[in-house]
Amino acid sequence: MTDQIVANLGENRPNPNKAFPNPNIPSLCYIKNVVKNPRVIIGDYTYYDDVDGADQFEKHVTHFYDFIGDKLIIGKFCAIAKGVEFVMNGANHRMDCATTYPFYIMGGDWGSAIAPVKDELPLKGDTVVGNDVWIGQNVTIMPGVHIGDGAIIGTNSVVAKDIPPYAIAVGNPCRVVRKRFDDELIDILLKLRWWDKSIEEIENLMPILSCGDLEKVKEELKTRL
């Protein structure tokens, strides 16, 4: 039965280089095929789902200024729901002055205010989302956050700190409520890195990756390491 499933998958697998892989779900978009900014780096099969325009993902990456040079990096096989906002480093203001107000960007006579150099800004680095991450609706991800492989971020969360792999995190501020699996299975999955395998290997793993019997999953995946 499993061999037949895999054979059928191979005959008509989704095309990772197509923007809209399933004509029956027009809101679902493989993001890497629609982004234009080279500092937005997206892995294969990662999708954004939004009936208001799934191909407008970059509009949800805000304060993303060239002179800062930060990147948004998202891994493979991630599921990103509508309304997710990535706030980049350009949103940060200096906090080491008497005021946080950026007089210098307003023009006119206010241009005489002292403008900070890049090294004086409170930059947090690149924003990085791992592989196989599920981000719920209306989540806000703050600058420089790293979200680990396999994590789940609950709806309406504000993520201001790093989230470890295979954690479930919710709230404002977003906090980890529990691990998805026991430490042994998490370790196996992180070593397996199934998302980096060939699509043929992934198709062979699909029956076990989508199985709810975690003890069976654990024992089967041990043989694949």
**Residues annotated as catalytic (active site), given as ranges:** 93
Q: What CA–CA distance (Å, rounded) separates 224 from 207? A: 14
**Cα radius of gyration rounded to whole Å, the chain:** 20
**Which whole-number Å values give the CA distances from 9 to 3, 6, 26, 82, 196, in the listed order?**
10, 5, 21, 28, 18
> Can you say how many angstroms the Cα of residue 20 is from the centroid of all Cα atoms in its chain?
18
Q: For Cα atoms 144, 150, 156, give the angle at the middle one, nearest 5 degrees.
A: 60
Q: Is the bond preceding residue 173 a cis peptide, omega within 30 degrees?
A: yes
Rounded to a whole number, what is the largest CA-CA distance in the chain?
75
